[in-house]
Amino acid sequence: MINKKKICLQWFKDLQDLICNTVIDLEKEYDSRAKFKSNKWEKGEFRIIKGSVIEKGGVAFSNVTGTFPKNFANQIPGTEKKRSFWSSGVSVVLHPVNPHVPALHFNTRHIITGKNWFGGGIDATPCMQDTKLKKYFHSKLEKMCNDHNKKYYKKYKKWCDEYFFLPHRKEIRGIGGIFFDYKMNDWNSDFEFVRDVGLTFNDLVREIIRKKMFKKYTKKDKENQLLKRGRYVEYNLLFDRGTKFGLNTGGNVEAILMSMPPNAKWK
């Protein structure tokens, strides 16, 4: 029998390194020597960079085990008999300096209760309209999804649009992407898909940021970016499932709220 936990842990750690290196390479191309600061805690490691390309970026690996609180467990599959869980994952949030570069968000995770499944997604939050970028971003995700299953892209894109929606504002958060959860078709092909999602995100980070990081912007553009970040904060604190999961399962608060932007504004 394959050791699912071990395989996942190794991949998530490798992916954390990979994405950090991509970000550092971009900083170097920009003539910045910014580095990630590592924060280790008993259940993981989150790394934060404050650079010239990425104003604040967080790349977190975690491996949390425990028991779900009762009134949280009933929202989670496979907890009918026992409320214990094993979870591991990587999550990334990049808040760029340049308002032309969208904020990029990614997560993949494996969770084991009485059942076991994968979840995750990739989405982008620009603060400036760019139809070409949106097309490029989605075509890349579509292509990757199609390599695994022709039904995935449509399904996971829809899920993403529904998930990253701010009901109180009646606004979608960004330009969407893909989102999936409770994925438990076949472990091996699910894991392959999850790896591909990670690698595709890594490519997107490099390609999208490189294309835009030198573009000129105005004070007004930056102002708009900070207002958009306000919405990001609202979403994360009011609705994000990862935030709720983390705060409900004794996660590290600094690691959970690593996704907060470096700064934000409200009108």
**Residues taking part in catalysis:** 105
Instruction: Mark 74-112 as b/e (b = at least 16 C-beta within 10 Å).
Output: eebebbeeebebbbbbbbbbbbbbbbbbbbbbbbbbbbb
Closer to a second copy at the Cβ: 41 or 266?
Answer: 266
Tokens 């078709």 map to which residue?
185
Closer to a second copy at the Cβ: 50 or 195?
Answer: 50
In the complex, the residues that contact a second copy under the rule CB under 8 A are 56, 168-169, 226, 230, 233-234, 237-238, 247, 253, 256-257, 260-266
Asked if residue 155 lies in contact with residue 149, where contact means CB atoms within 8 angstroms, the answer is no
Say how far apart CA 237 and CA 240 lie, in whole Å: 6
Residue 168: CB minimum distance to a second copy, A? 5
Asked if residue 249 lies in contact with residue 83, where contact means CB atoms within 8 angstroms, the answer is no
Residue 248: CB minimum distance to a second copy, A? 10
Closer to a second copy at the Cβ: 140 or 229?
Answer: 229
Closer to a second copy at the Cβ: 18 or 247?
Answer: 247
Phi-psi label, residue 31: left if phi above 0, alpha if psi -120 to 50, beta otherwise: left
Say how far apart CA 192 and CA 158 lie, in whole Å: 22
Asked if residue 259 lies in contact with residue 56, where contact means CB atoms within 8 angstroms, the answer is no
Closer to a second copy at the Cβ: 78 or 261?
Answer: 261
Asked if residue 160 lies in contact with residue 180, where contact means CB atoms within 8 angstroms, the answer is no
Question: DSSP string covering 6-60, please?
Answer: HHHHHHHHHHHHHHHHHHHHHHHHTT----EEEEEETTEEEEEE--SSEEEEEEE
Q: How far is CA 216 from CA 94, 97, 175, in A?
A: 19, 11, 22
Q: Which two tokens stand for residue 249?
A: 């399962």
Closer to a second copy at the Cβ: 33 or 253?
Answer: 253
